[in-house]
Amino acid sequence: MLELLCMIPFLPFAGFVILTLIGRRITDRLAALIGAGSVAISAIITFVVGYNFLVLPPAGHPYTQVLWTWMRIGSFTPCISFYLDPLSLIMILVVTFVGFLIHLYSVEFMKGEEGYSRFFAYMNLFVGSMLTLVLADNLVLLYLGWEGVGLCSYLLIGFWYKDPANGRAAIKAFVVTRVGDAAMAVGLFLLFTNLGTLNIQELMGLASQKWPIGSGIAAAAAVLLLGGAAGKSAQLPLQTWLPDAMAGPTPVSALIHAATMVTAGVYLIARTHVLFTLAPAVQTTVAITGAATLLLASISAITQRDIKRVLAYSTISQIGYMFLALGVGAWSAAIFHFMTHAFFKALLFLGAGAVIIGLDREHDMYKMGGLRKQLPVAFWTFLIGSASLSALPLVTAGFYSKDLILWQVWASDRGSILLCAGGVAGAFLTSVYTFRMLFLTFAGNATSQVTRKPGPLMKIPLITLAVLSLIAGLIDIPATLGNLPTLSEFLHSALPPVPMSHANPLIEGKLQFITSLLALVGIMFAYRIFLHSPQHTGRAEEIKRSPIATAIHCFLFQGWNFDLLYDKFIVQPFVRLARFNRGDFIDFIYTGIALFIRSFNRVLSFTQSGKVRWYAAGLAVGAVILIGIAEFL
C-alpha cells in the first residue's frame, strides 16, 4: 500500500490541471468538488499510507519510492522520488488533513467570488507543491516544491488582483522570500560541489563523515540554508512580508501563511539537521533568531488593529518558537509545535474569517465587539484556539508543545537560561495579545450586526480543528504528567533526541508552573487593560495620548519599522542607483557601435550621389591611392 505514496502529491496536481483547463466552463459546484475532492482523496490516501507505515516492521523504517530520473547531467542525476520517514509522514498528515479542512471551508467562504475555480486551482497547486516539498528525497526536488509554494503564495496573496495594494503585497512577499531562496540555491550549489550529491540521506551521511564539527564549509552551507528557511518562515530579518501577505483571502492565510508553507523553513532545518549539528555556531544563530523573532513579533502583535495582522505576527512569533527549538537541537519538539500550531492557528484564521465575512469584510477589531452571541460557533472555537495559542495548562495542545520546547531549551546542552527566559516572556506576551484580540472581537457590547452566519461547511472545519487543538497535545505527554512521549519516540528514527546532560525533572515541573501562571496572568492583564474597568482604560488612554507613547505605539504598529529600514537602506539606494544608471553603462558600448555605424553609413550614402562623374572621380582617386601604396610602401 505504500506504493500509493506518489498519488498523494499527484492528486492535487491533477486537480490543478483539470481546473486550469476547464475551470471557466464548469459550474462553481463542480469546481469546488474537484478542488476539495482531490485534496480529500489525497488525505485519505495519506491516512492509509500512514497506517501501513506504522504497522510495517521495522517501525520507523524509511521508505523510498523512485518514480523516474528527472535529468542526467554527468554525475548529477536527481530523481523524481519520494521519501517517507516519520518526519515526512507527520508533515504530509498535517498538510493534507488541515489542507482538506481549509478547502472545505473555502467552498463556502469563497462562494460567489469571481474566479472561484481559479482559487481552487491555485490552492490545489499549492497543496501539491507543499507535498512535493516535504516528500522530496533530494534537495533539487525539494527546491522545486519550495519554489512552487512560493509561486502559489504570490498568486493567492494577489488573488483579488483588482486592488493594486494586494498586488504590491504579493510582489513584496515574493521578492522578500526570494532573498532567502537565492541564499538557499547557493547553499545547494555549495553542497553539490563539495559532496557531489543532493540526495538528502546520502548528503547527511557524507557530511558527517567528511566534515568535522565546526568546519567552515558546513557552517557556510548551514548559514545559506538558514537564509532560505528564514525567508520562507518569515524570521528575522526577512519577516516583513508576512503581515502584508494578509491581503489574500482568509483561507489562504490559514493554509499557506499559518499552517503549512511558512513552516517549510522549520522542516528544511529539521531535514538537514546534520549540517546544523556540524556547525554549532550556526545552530546557536538559529536559536537566537527564533528567540528574537518571537519577542519582536509578539510585542508588535499587541499593537495591531487588524485581526488578521495580529494572527500574522502571532504566526511569526510561534515559528520563532520552532526555530528556538531547532536551535537547541530539540528537533522533534519543533515538529510537535509545528503540528499543534497548524491546528490552532488554522482554527484561529478560519474563525477570524468567519467574523470578517460576517461583518462584510471588516478587519478592524475596534469596530467589532460583542460578537459572542451572534456567532456562537465562531466564538467557542476561537476561544479554544486562543487558549491553545496561549498554552493554557493541561487542556490545550499548545501547552504540551510549547512546554516541551521551553523545557528542552532549558535542559539542552545547547540551550541557555537566557533563551529560555525569552521563550517564557514570549509565552506571557502571547496570552496578552491573543486575549486582547479575543476580548476586542467577541466580548463587550455588540457594536455591529452580523450579516452572514457561517454555514455547515464552515462549521465542520472549525469544530474539527477545535477538537484537535484540544487533544493533539496528548500524543506527547511530558515526564511530569505521565511521561508518554509517543511523538518524540516516533520521530527519533529520523531526528536525534535532544542532548541533555544536566536534566533535572524537578525544574521541568517548575518551568511548567511558571509558564502556565504567566499565561494566566497575561489573560488577566489583557482583561484589565482591554475589557474591564473603565477608569483603567481612561488612564491607559491618557498614557496613550502622550507623544512618546504614540511614537512607540506607531513604531511597534509598523512592526519595529523594519519596512522603513529596508526602504531607506536597500530599496531607495537601489532605486537611486537604477535612476542614475537609467541609460545603462554597459549599453553605451552597444549604442556607441550603432551610432558609429549610422554616421559611417551617412558618410557613405553621401558618396552615392547618383552622378556618374563623381563615381568616375572616386575611381580615379582610388586608383591613384592604390598605385601610390604599391609604389611607395
Partner 1 sequence: MEHGLILAGMLFCIGLAGVIVRRNIIFTLLSIEIMLNASGLAFVVAGSRWGQADGQIIFIFILAMAAAEVSVGLALLLQLYHKFKTLDSDTASRMRG
Binding site for partner 1 (CB under 8 A): 604-605, 607-613, 616-617, 620
The least distance separating partner 1 from the CB of residue 622, rounded to whole angstroms, comes to 12
Report the distance separating Cα 472 and Cα 493, nearest Å. 21
Residue labelled with grid coordinates 507505515:
53
- In this complex, which beta carbon is closest to partner 1, that of residue 581 or of residue 609? 609
How many Cα atoms sit within 13 Å of 50 on the Cβ side? 19
C-beta of residue 329 within 8 angstroms of C-beta of residue 500: no
The least distance separating partner 1 from the CB of residue 617, rounded to whole angstroms, comes to 5
- In this complex, which beta carbon is closest to partner 1, that of residue 548 or of residue 612? 612
The least distance separating partner 1 from the CB of residue 633, rounded to whole angstroms, comes to 21
The least distance separating partner 1 from the CB of residue 623, rounded to whole angstroms, comes to 9
- DSSP H helical segments within 23-163, as ranges? 28-55, 86-109, 116-135, 139-157
Q: Which residues contact 630 (CB under 8 A, 6 or more apart)?
A: none
Q: Which residues contact 619 (CB under 8 A, 6 or more apart)?
A: none
- In this complex, which beta carbon is closest to partner 1, that of residue 68 or of residue 606? 606
Report the distance separating Cα 233 and Cα 256, nearest Å. 11
C-beta of residue 375 within 8 angstroms of C-beta of residue 455: no
The least distance separating partner 1 from the CB of residue 614, rounded to whole angstroms, comes to 8
- In this complex, which beta carbon is closest to partner 1, that of residue 549 or of residue 627? 627
- Is the Cα dihedral 40, 45, 49, 52 positive or negative? positive
CA-atom Rg of the chain in angstroms: 29
Q: Return the bridge partners of 84, or none.
A: 63
Report the distance separating Cα 381 and Cα 348, nearest Å. 8
- Residue 493: its H or E element: none
- In this complex, which beta carbon is closest to partner 1, that of residue 394 or of residue 620? 620
The least distance separating partner 1 from the CB of residue 594, rounded to whole angstroms, comes to 19
The least distance separating partner 1 from the CB of residue 161, rounded to whole angstroms, comes to 53
- In this complex, which beta carbon is closest to partner 1, that of residue 505 or of residue 628? 628
- In this complex, which beta carbon is closest to partner 1, that of residue 479 or of residue 616? 616
The least distance separating partner 1 from the CB of residue 619, rounded to whole angstroms, comes to 9
- In this complex, which beta carbon is closest to partner 1, that of residue 582 or of residue 602? 602
The least distance separating partner 1 from the CB of residue 601, rounded to whole angstroms, comes to 9
Instruction: Return the C-alpha cell found at 410.
Output: 532549558
- In this complex, which beta carbon is closest to partner 1, that of residue 22 or of residue 617? 617
The least distance separating partner 1 from the CB of residue 620, rounded to whole angstroms, comes to 5
DSSP per position, 165-203 = HHHHHHHHHHHHHHHHHHHHHHHHHHHHHHHS--BHHHH
How many Cα atoms sit within 13 Å of 329 on the Cβ side? 19
The least distance separating partner 1 from the CB of residue 613, rounded to whole angstroms, comes to 5
- In this complex, which beta carbon is closest to partner 1, that of residue 214 or of residue 622? 622
- Residue 374: its H or E element: none
- In this complex, which beta carbon is closest to partner 1, that of residue 548 or of residue 630? 630
CA 429 to chain centre: 22
- In this complex, which beta carbon is closest to partner 1, that of residue 550 or of residue 609? 609
Which of 246, 446, 457 minimizes the C-alpha distance to 361?
A: 246
Q: Return the bridge partners of 76, or none.
A: 73
Please, what is the Cα angle at 105 between 345 and 232, to 5 degrees? Answer: 40
**CB burial of residue 311 (10 Å; 0-12, 13-18, 19+):** buried
C-beta of residue 180 within 8 angstroms of C-beta of residue 174: no
Which of 203, 218, 331, 208 minimizes the C-alpha distance to 267?
A: 331
The least distance separating partner 1 from the CB of residue 599, rounded to whole angstroms, comes to 15
